[in-house]
Amino acid sequence: MAATQDNVTCAVCMEVYRSPRFLPCYHTFCLPCLEELAKRHGYIIPCPTCRAPATVPPGGVCDLQVNFYFTDEALKVVRKEKSQSTCPVHTKECVIFYCTQCDQGICIRCKLTKHEGHTTEDLSDTVARCKKTIEDRLQSFMDNISRGKDKLESCKRNEKLALDKRAAVREQRNSSTVDVLAEYAEYYRTVHFPISCLRCVMDADSNIHVRQRGLQFPTFIFYAVTER
């Protein structure tokens, strides 16, 4: 990734990020800029870069994910590089050093006077190092996002396979249930029902024979009656 000022510049205000926040589309903007967008658009704001809609959290845009890859220290140095081309103390001198002890850019005269004995380094080296840190962290973050998206897609595919398998099992189970019911209905029609009917006929015939026997007098009773 090339080391340019655009890497740490908000696309809304065109300034170095102030309290940078992520939108769900992973574009970064200043918190004050996002607050202004929320005032104009309400709870759903369009991303100024890709126009993707972003829902504002219930607590406001301040609850959006902070972009920790743009550290305050690194942004401070980049901001100084942009705004402090001349020394505020010695206005005819350019800021070419960075005093790590005082955390500010200084000119050659400051280094030899007020900042004598302090740990300093070339401002260009400080800026390059901070930019490199930001770019490396940002690239790492984007790589993590890419891997996360791949894992998410893999999970979605596995979920679809599981749902398809469950649907197939359910369909097979329903089909088996229908087959069992059909077999039982066929059994009832061809076996159980005829047997039941036959049993009813046999029971009826048995009852008739019993009644017929009940109407016949025993022989010894008949003779006893006739002899009298």
Q: At what angle do helices 123-187 and 72-83 cross, to 10 degrees?
A: 130
Residue 183's identity, in one-letter code, is: E
Mean pLDDT of the chain: 78
Token reading at 209: 């024979």
Q: Is a pLDDT exceeding 80 seen at residue 158?
A: yes
Q: 201, exposed or middle or buried, with CB in 10 Å at 0-12, 13-18, 19+?
A: exposed
- pLDDT: is 224 or 67 the higher one? 67
Q: Which residue has the higher pLDDT, 8 or 47?
A: 47
pLDDT per position as a tens digit, 23-34:
999 899 999 999
Query: What CATH number should be reported for the domain whose range is 86-195?
Result: 3.30.160.60
For 24, other C-beta atoms within 10 Å of its C-beta total 12
C-alpha–C-alpha distance, residues 87 and 97, integer Å: 10
**Judging by beta carbons within 10 Å of its beta carbon (0-12, 13-18, 19+), is residue 134 exposed, middle or buried?**
buried
Query: How are beta strands 120-122 and 28-30 bridged, if at all?
Result: unpaired
* Domain segments of the chain as ranges: 20-82, 86-195
In sequence order, what are the residues at sequence separation of 6 or more whose Cβ sits closer than 8 angstroms to the Cβ of residue 65?
Answer: 21, 22
Instruction: Give the per-residue pLDDT at 217.
Output: 46
Contact 87, 115 (CB under 8 A): no
Is residue 138 scored above 50 in pLDDT?
A: yes
- Evaluate whether the domain defined by 20-82 bears CATH number 3.30.1120: no
- The β-bridge relationship of strands 44-46 and 53-55 is antiparallel
The C-alpha R_g of the chain, in whole angstroms, comes to: 46
Q: Give the predicted TM-score (pTM) of the model.
A: 0.36
Q: What pLDDT is stored for residue 80 in this prediction?
A: 59
pLDDT at 188: 64
Of 51-65, 86-100, 158-172, 180-194, the poorest mean pLDDT is in 180-194
